[in-house]
Amino acid sequence: MSRESSRLILGIWRIGDWGLSPAEVARLVEGCLDLGIDTFDLADIYHGYQCEAMFGSALRTSPGLRSRMKLISKCGIALVAPDRPMHRVKHYDTSRKHIVASAENSLAQLGVEQLDLLLIHRPDPLMEADEVARAFADLKGAGKVAAFGVSNFQPHQVNLLQSRLDQPLVANQMEVSLLHTDALFDGSLDQAQQLRIMPQAWSPLGGGRLAREPGDSTLGRVLARLGQELDATPEQVAIAWLLLHPAQIHPLLGTGRLARVRAMVKAQDLVLDRQAWFELLEAALGREVP
Ligand SMILES: NC(=O)c1ccc[n+]([C@@H]2O[C@H](COP(=O)([O-])OP(=O)(O)OC[C@H]3O[C@@H](n4cnc5c(N)ncnc54)[C@H](OP(=O)(O)O)[C@@H]3O)[C@@H](O)[C@H]2O)c1
């Protein structure tokens, strides 16, 4: 089965848990591309700063892949890790020097010439928006990054950074799922719709909990019942719930199994009606809307 394009993105955060060889990761990527999923989400820090090198090894086994895909990476978090002996404490660094060095390192690890999208991973209380703007302009001018966005930014933080940029922020990656509904009410998804910023939903299955523990909770029961009515699994219903939102949410799948990716692609064809959407929201919140 192949589709024109998909709103789903494959997240590579858990690559260290997948137990896949580089050739197997390349086959997973190939399978995603065949399903219309052409965007892959990484970050400098994932898997103790090893994720990009592992994904890069996969790309090197199949050089034709790069031209068919879009690559997202992130920067701005500094972890205490064996690979970074100079870090004494976990911190954020959105200095020009760190952003540029991190992006250049991402390119080297991945073995590619350009990132399609670079995100500032988390809001940094010491962020100087003018300095971030200079870093973005330098990276874009050098052809190293095509577009920029943020992650986990509240609307006022998006506004601050955007006010100093000469190019639009194109994405805000945020936690959104039936287990984490804040973005529906804190202005994040309203702003995404208003400014046409792509909202990317991380942990859309709550890190797997919505698939593994449908269990006895009210939410689990509603997901299971709607799934029966729609001939779908609870996790397909959970993804369809995100896709119905008018801000055009792009869910980031965290699985390393192509069969599960394929099942999630089918969620794009599920039609939840408005009342089913609110029934799920009510179950998620534990109360009806006011
Ligand atoms: N910007 C940020 O701050 C931020 C933070 C966290 C994550 N992210 C991004 O978001 C991506 C997705 O996050 P996530 O991994 O938490 O997403 P998720 O899709 O909610 O969770 C993925 C987990 O669920 C399991 N799972 C999926 N379908 C399942 C099923 N049918 N039955 C049982 N288990 C199932 C997967 O295991 P299997 O592999 O065994 O299928 C995996 O362990 C990450 O890869 C990363 O790119 C961004």
Task: Give strand ranges (E) for the chain.
Answer: 9-11, 39-41, 70-75, 77-78, 91-92, 117-120, 148-151, 171-175, 198-202, 250-253
| Residues 6+ away with beta carbon under 8 Å from 161 | 120, 127, 129, 132, 133, 150, 153, 169
CA distances from residue 269 to 3, 52, 141, 186, 231 in whole angstroms, order as listed: 11, 32, 40, 29, 11
The CATH number for 140's domain is 3.20.20.100
Which of the listed residues 255, 261, 262, 266 should we mutate to test ligand 1's pocket, taking the one with most ligand atoms within 8 A of CB? 255
Check pocket membership of 151 for ligand 1, CB cut-off 6 A: yes
- Judge if 215 and 165 occupy the same domain: no
Residue 190: inside a domain? no
Please indicate, yes or no, if residue 53 is contained in any of the structural domains.
Answer: yes
pLDDT of residue 2: 43
Residues 118 and 260 in one domain: no
**Last residue in a domain, options 169, 198, 221:** 169
Ligand 1: centre distance to CA 134 (Å): 33
Say whether pTM exceeds 0.95. yes
Q: Tell whether 200 is covered by a domain.
A: no
Q: β-pairing, 77-78 with 91-92? A: antiparallel
Residue-level pLDDT at 4:
64
Angstrom distances, CA of residue 196 to CA of 161, 248, 249: 16, 9, 11
Tell me what pLDDT residue 214 has: 63
Residue 219 and residue 161 share a domain = no
Residues in the chain: 290
Q: What is the domain count for the chain?
A: 2
Could you confirm whether 46 is annotated as catalytic? yes
Note whether 128 and 8 are same-domain residues.
yes
Tokens of 178: 């039936």
| Co-location of 94 and 229 in the same domain | no
Q: Which amino acid is residue 201, in one-letter code?
A: A
Q: Identify the segments of the chain with pLDDT beneath 50.
A: 1-3
Residue 201 belongs to some domain of the structure: no
Which residues are registered as beta bridge partners of 252? 9
Range of the domain at 272: 206-290
Task: Give yes or no: residues 110 and 243 share one domain.
Answer: no
Q: Where a domain ends, among 117, 144, 169?
A: 169
Give domain status of residue 220, yes or no.
yes
Task: Establish if 70 belongs to a structural domain.
Answer: yes
Same domain for 227 and 153: no
Contact 73, 119 (CB under 8 A): yes
* 35 plus 91 within the same structural domain: yes
Is any ligand 1 atom within 6 A of the Cβ of residue 172? Answer: no
The reply to whether 123 falls in a domain is yes
